[in-house]
C-alpha cells in the first residue's frame, strides 16, 4: 500500500515537472520576459525612413493607421502627422476614427465653425483616450484647415464605431421631427447611453425598421439614414454575448468605413484615412477583423500601416476601479529593437521596398512578438507577456510599420494617473 502511494506521488511530481517544462518552453517561445534579438541593424537602416517620407500606392482607397496602444502620446501624434501627409500629397479630405459616430459628428460640426473649444469637441467622442492635448491639436488643425478651404475641399471628421449612442439618437430624433415623423417609440428606446430594457432586440429592430421606412419615404439624407443604421447596430451589438460581440463589432465597423468611402467618393474624393487600434486595422488575424474584411472588400485598395514600440510607459485604466495608471512594457519585436539600437526615435519601414530574398525581407514574414495593449491593465499581465504581445508575421498584417522606440504616456484631461 505504501509503495503504491509512493508511485502515485512520483507520478504526480513527474507530471507536474513535465507540465512545468512544457509551460516554460511555450512561455519562452512567446518571448518570455526578454526583449529578444534585434534585426540586422545596418540592413534595417538601409530601408528605415522618416515618417515624413511615407508614401502609399496610387491604387490605395482606404489608408489605415493602427496604434499599438491607446495610451501613448506618440501614437496619437502620428494621427496628425500621417494625416497631414495624406491631405497634402493624396487629396484625402476624410478623417475617420475608431470612435462614436455621433460624437465624431459633434467634432465635424466644430471643425466646420461650430461653437466651443477643441478640447470640448474631443470630449464629445466619448472615450477617455481621446481627451488629450494631442487629439485637441488634431482637431484644431482640421478647424484651421477648413476655415480657408473652398467648397467641397473641406475636411470631414467621421466615426466608424457604434459603442455609444446618445448623440446618434439625438440627431435621429431631430431629423425625424423636421420631417414630421412620429418619434414616440424612438424617444422611449434610449435613455442616455443605455437602451430601455422594456424593449428586446426584436422590438428595437421593428421600431427602427419602421423609422427607416418613414425616413426613406420622406427623402431623408444619407447621413440621417445612416444614423438609423448605427442605432440598429448598437442594439444588435447589445443583444449578443461578449464573445460574439468582438467579431460583430469589427464587421459593423467595416460596413461603416465602406459607407464613409462611398460618401467621400460622392464628393469627388477617391481615398479616405481611418485610424484605430492595430488589432482592428490589421489585414489578417485569428478572427475577421475590420481590416481583414476591408482588405477583401477593396482588395489592393486597402493600405494598412501598423505601429509598434520597443518600450512603452502606457496610460491604462485598472480593471476594478478604472483608475488610470502608467505601466512600463517591452515588445519582443526585432524590428522595434533594431530601430532603438539604430538610434531612431520614430521611423517608418515600407515592407514593399524590402527585397524578399534579403535577410530582412524574410524576417518581416516570420512570426514575431509585437507589442499590443488595449484599454485595460491587470497585475496578471506582469506574469503573462503574451497578454501584451501579439504573435504574427508583421508583413502579413501590415503593408508598412512605424516604430516608436520609447513611447510616453498620454495625459487624460481632467484625470490623474498613478506612476508605477
**Which residue, 207, 123, 108, 211, is CA-closest to 160?**
108
CATH number of the domain within which 210 lies: 3.30.1870.10
**Which residue, 269, 258, 245, 247, is CA-closest to 64?**
258
Indicate whether 247 belongs to any domain.
yes
Query: Contact, 84 vs 141, CB < 8 A?
Result: yes
Residue 253 has pLDDT above 70, yes or no: yes
DSSP category for residue 346? E
Query: Contact, 167 vs 103, CB < 8 A?
Result: yes
DSSP category for residue 411? -
Residue 318: partners with Cβ closer than 8 Å, 6 or more residues away:
324, 325, 377, 378
Indicate whether 55 belongs to any domain.
no
pLDDT, tens digit, for every residue of 213-232? 999 999 999 999 999 999 99
Indicate whether 303 belongs to any domain.
no
Query: Contact, 410 vs 71, CB < 8 A?
Result: yes
Residue 99 has pLDDT above 80, yes or no: yes
**Which residue, 377, 374, 168, is CA-closest to 256?**
168
Residues 274-295, mean pLDDT to the nearest whole number: 95
| Torsion on CA atoms 191, 135, 119, 150, rounded to nearest 10 | -100
Q: What is the pLDDT of residue 191?
A: 86
Rounded (5°) CA angle 24-29-30: 100
Above pLDDT 70, what percent of the chain? 90
SS3 content of the chain, % helix, strand, coil (to 5): 50, 20, 30
Indicate whether 31 belongs to any domain.
no
Q: How far apart are CA 406 and CA 408, in angstroms?
A: 6
The total number of structural domains that make up the chain? 1
Residue 25: partners with Cβ closer than 8 Å, 6 or more residues away:
none
Mean model confidence pLDDT for the chain: 92
Q: What is the pLDDT of residue 126?
A: 86
Indicate whether 351 belongs to any domain.
no
Q: How far apart are CA 9 and CA 277, in angstroms?
A: 49
Lowest mean pLDDT of 14-28, 97-111, 121-135, name the range.
14-28
Indicate whether 352 belongs to any domain.
no
Query: Contact, 140 vs 209, CB < 8 A?
Result: no
pLDDT, tens digit, for every residue of 13-58? 666 555 544 444 444 444 455 788 999 999 999 999 999 999 999 9
Residue 102 has pLDDT above 80, yes or no: yes
Q: How far apart are CA 311 and CA 73, in angstroms?
A: 13
The crossing angle, in degrees rounded to 10, of helices 101-111 and 133-147 is 50
Q: What domain range includes position 223?
A: 91-275
Indicate whether 358 belongs to any domain.
no
Residue 81 has pLDDT above 80, yes or no: yes
Indicate whether 105 belongs to any domain.
yes
Q: How far apart are CA 184 and CA 173, in angstroms?
A: 10
Helix ranges (H only) for 133-183 are 133-147, 166-178
Q: What is the pLDDT of residue 4?
A: 62
Residue 279: partners with Cβ closer than 8 Å, 6 or more residues away:
66, 285, 289, 372, 374, 390
Amino acid at each position: 500500500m505504501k509503495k503504491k502511494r509512493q508511485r502515485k506521488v512520483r507520478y504526480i511530481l513527474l507530471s507536474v515537472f513535465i507540465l512545468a517544462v512544457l509551460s516554460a518552453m511555450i512561455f519562452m517561445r512567446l518571448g518570455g520576459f526578454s526583449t529578444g534579438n534585434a534585426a540586422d541593424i545596418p540592413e534595417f537602416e538601409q530601408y528605415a525612413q522618416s515618417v515624413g517620407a511615407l508614401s502609399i500606392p496610387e491604387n490605395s482607397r482606404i489608408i489605415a493607421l493602427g496604434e499599438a496602444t491607446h495610451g501613448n502620446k506618440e501614437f496619437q501624434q502620428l494621427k496628425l502627422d500621417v494625416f497631414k501627409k495624406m491631405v497634402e500629397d493624396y487629396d484625402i479630405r476624410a478623417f475617420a476614427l475608431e470612435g462614436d459616430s455621433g460624437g465624431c459628428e459633434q467634432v465635424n460640426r466644430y471643425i466646420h465653425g461650430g461653437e466651443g473649444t477643441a478640447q470640448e469637441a474631443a470630449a464629445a467622442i466619448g472615450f477617455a483616450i481621446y481627451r488629450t492635448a494631442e487629439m485637441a491639436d488634431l482637431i484644431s488643425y482640421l478647424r484651421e484647415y477648413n476655415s480657408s478651404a473652398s467648397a467641397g475641399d473641406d475636411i470631414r471628421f467621421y466615426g466608424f464605431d457604434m459603442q455609444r449612442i446618445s448623440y446618434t439618437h439625438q440627431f435621429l430624433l431631430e431629423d425625424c421631427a423636421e420631417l414630421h415623423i412620429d418619434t414616440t417609440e424612438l424617444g422611449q428606446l434610449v435613455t442616455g447611453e443605455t437602451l430601455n430594457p422594456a424593449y428586446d432586440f426584436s422590438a428595437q429592430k421593428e421600431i427602427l425598421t419602421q423609422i427607416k421606412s418613414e425616413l426613406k419615404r420622406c427623402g431623408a439624407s444619407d447621413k440621417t439614414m445612416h444614423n438609423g443604421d448605427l442605432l440598429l447596430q448598437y442594439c444588435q451589438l447589445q443583444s449578443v454575448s461578449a464573445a460574439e460581440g468582438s467579431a460583430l463589432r469589427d464587421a459593423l465597423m467595416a460596413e461603416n468605413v465602406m459607407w464613409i468611402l462611398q460618401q467621400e467618393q460622392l464628393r469627388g474624393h477617391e481615398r479616405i484615412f481611418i485610424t484605430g487600434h492595430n488589432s482592428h486595422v490589421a489585414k489578417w488575424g485569428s478572427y475577421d477583423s475590420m481590416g481583414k474584411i476591408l482588405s477583401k472588400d477593396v482588395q489592393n485598395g486597402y493600405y494598412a500601416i501598423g505601429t509598434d514600440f520597443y518600450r512603452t510607459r502606457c496610460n491604462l485604466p485598472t480593471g476594478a476601479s478604472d483608475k488610470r495608471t502608467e505601466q512600463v512594457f517591452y515588445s519582443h519585436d526585432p524590428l522595434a529593437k533594431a530601430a532603438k539600437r539604430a538610434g531612431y526615435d520614430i521611423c517608418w519601414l515600407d515592407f514593399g521596398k524590402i527585397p524578399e530574398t534579403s535577410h530582412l525581407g524574410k524576417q518581416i514574414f516570420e512570426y514575431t512578438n509585437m507589442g499590443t495593449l488595449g484599454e485595460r491593465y491587470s497585475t496578471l499581465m506582469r506574469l503573462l507577456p503574451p497578454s501584451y504581445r501579439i504573435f504574427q508575421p508583421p508583413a502579413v498584417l501590415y503593408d508598412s510599420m512605424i516604430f516608436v522606440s520609447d513611447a510616453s504616456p498620454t495625459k487624460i484631461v481632467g484625470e490623474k494617473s498613478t506612476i508605477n
